[in-house]
Amino acid sequence: MLSRLRPSIGRSTSLSRTARGFATLMLAAAVAISSSVSAFAQGVPVVRDAEIEALVRDYARPIFKAAGLANDGIDIVLVNDPSFNAFVTGRRLFINTGALVTAETPNEIIGVIAHEAGHIAGGHQQKLRDQLDRAKTMAIIATLLGAGAIVAGATTSSKGLAGAGMGVAAGGGEMAQRSILAYQRTEEITADRSAITYLNATGQSGMGMLKTFGRFQSALSLAGTQVDPYRISHPMPQERIANLEVLVKQSPFVNVVDPPALQQRHDMMRIKIAAYMQGQAAVARLMRKNPTSLASRYGDAQQTYLYGNPGAALIKTAALIKEQPKNPYFHELRGDILMKANKPKDAADAYAKAVSLDPAHSGLLLVSLGQALMAVGTPDSLKQAVVQLNNGVGRDKENAEAYRFLAQAYGEQGDIPAADLATAEGHYYAGDYKNAKIFAMRAQQKLKRGEPRWVRAQDIINYTPSNKLK
């Protein structure tokens, strides 16, 4: 993401600090969720990153399988927020970067996912999940942010904030209100028991879950700390933690630790989030423990790319590639650096290598490749760019930004109806239905009635936003 994040990350980073304030502002205006989505979409704190999405999916897949849940392609949605939260709708797993960077081991995140899977398997909040599963990602984020603002208002006893929050809950219908309803204590016990079942079935320890929940439990008494939405929706009384501890310690897998290769990927993910979201001090803090580890050197290379010079970053990245030649994300970083150094041809080669090595087949790497090919700027590379960008959105339909690049590539080729339709798609997936319709109608004027692109444009024109939360 950090590559895809490249253009948007600055915006995302600044937003992370103001996300709650921004949400509050939206809420104070008492705007219904359906109409606030496009505003949120201007700066939705969703973070995209091929490496992190693949890792979290790898954490979730065995657990979902053990729980008998859909194991065919779970969408991972990374929310750029320093608080701890995770929520599964069914086909999408929302997780805050704050949760990922806090967890010292994969097992801590896997335990949280197992607990969430327990809620799904138990049918808890099923109606809400069904509503969310039909909603677009952007609408859900808006709702989650709204929920956070309500919580913040309540804990600071600010009548104004709490009142604004209730306004949005009403505006968003039952969904926003229900999303802040805590699970029942009996549901928590059920979910904990189910989580242990899934962890046992996959030969994993419950110690990470116990550590995470125990941390919430002890944080209850701390004044002035951030309110983690997760702790609000999952009540953690002392006896629940005590019961969980018994279950965890009964398991034959209690002492199992994460495989070293998985721990290494986790460490690299944490330092990446620190480098791109939190700044140099956070990276230094993570590096201190083991300055020569691969993760530390990865963080160092990323920092050099972000804050230093491309030449030095390339040397550090070359050393990483020498150590793990088949790590697609090292090649991706190399592509990012080469783009910054204005060497798009070399960058395209690096991204192509990353694509060929990526076991997760991320659409994001294809979009990076497409962007580099666009920057090369020859008619042939432009043609290839269109192919790769189309492959990218084919794997990643909701990637609004990718459609904007695609529109630009079609535009440079002189294919104006295709450019207009891609622009319409970009607005559509960003939740800006008004502009989506304008560009869809513009595309239709130049397309033959009834052909596939004309039909797709008609779908966008016919789309009614009020349907999306129902």
What residue ranges bind Zn ion (CB under 5 A)? 183, 188, 191, 234
Smallest distance from Zn ion to CB 123, Å: 13
Residue at 168: amino acid letter: V
First-residue to last-residue Cα distance in the chain? 32
CA–CA gap between residue 71 and residue 210 (Å, rounded)? 25
| Residue nearer to Zn ion on the CB measure, 234 or 297 | 234
Residue 26: name the closest of 134, 143, 155, 135 by CA: 143
Smallest distance from Zn ion to CB 210, Å: 14
Residue appearing with tokens 């002890």: 218
Smallest distance from Zn ion to CB 186, Å: 11
Closest residue to Zn ion, based on beta-carbon distance: 234
| Residue nearer to Zn ion on the CB measure, 87 or 410 | 87
- Whether the CB-CB separation of 96 and 145 falls below 8 Å is answered with no
| Residue nearer to Zn ion on the CB measure, 111 or 417 | 111
Smallest distance from Zn ion to CB 64, Å: 16
| Residue nearer to Zn ion on the CB measure, 124 or 272 | 124
Give the strand pairing for 86-88 and 46-47.
Answer: unpaired
Q: Please tell me whether residue 27 adopts helix, strand or coil conformation.
A: helix
Smallest distance from Zn ion to CB 209, Å: 10
Give the strand pairing for 75-79 and 46-47.
Answer: antiparallel
Torsion of CA 297, 301, 307, 309, to 10 degrees: 130
| Residue nearer to Zn ion on the CB measure, 183 or 463 | 183
Q: What CA–CA distances, in Å, run from 34 to 172, 174, 354, 431?
A: 7, 13, 38, 9
Residue 227: name the closest of 149, 154, 152 by CA: 152
Smallest distance from Zn ion to CB 53, Å: 23
| Residue nearer to Zn ion on the CB measure, 217 or 324 | 217
Smallest distance from Zn ion to CB 190, Å: 9
> What is the token pair recorded at 254?
């209690």
CA–CA gap between residue 219 and residue 231 (Å, rounded)? 10
| Residue nearer to Zn ion on the CB measure, 240 or 446 | 240
Smallest distance from Zn ion to CB 191, Å: 5
| Residue nearer to Zn ion on the CB measure, 140 or 191 | 191
User: Which DSSP category does 227 fall into?
Assistant: P
Q: What CA–CA distances, in Å, run from 221 to 201, 216, 225?
A: 35, 10, 9
> What is the token pair recorded at 374?
């666009």
| Residue nearer to Zn ion on the CB measure, 102 or 304 | 102
Smallest distance from Zn ion to CB 213, Å: 9
The runs of H, that is alpha helices, within 180-259 are: 185-201, 207-219, 229-233, 238-250
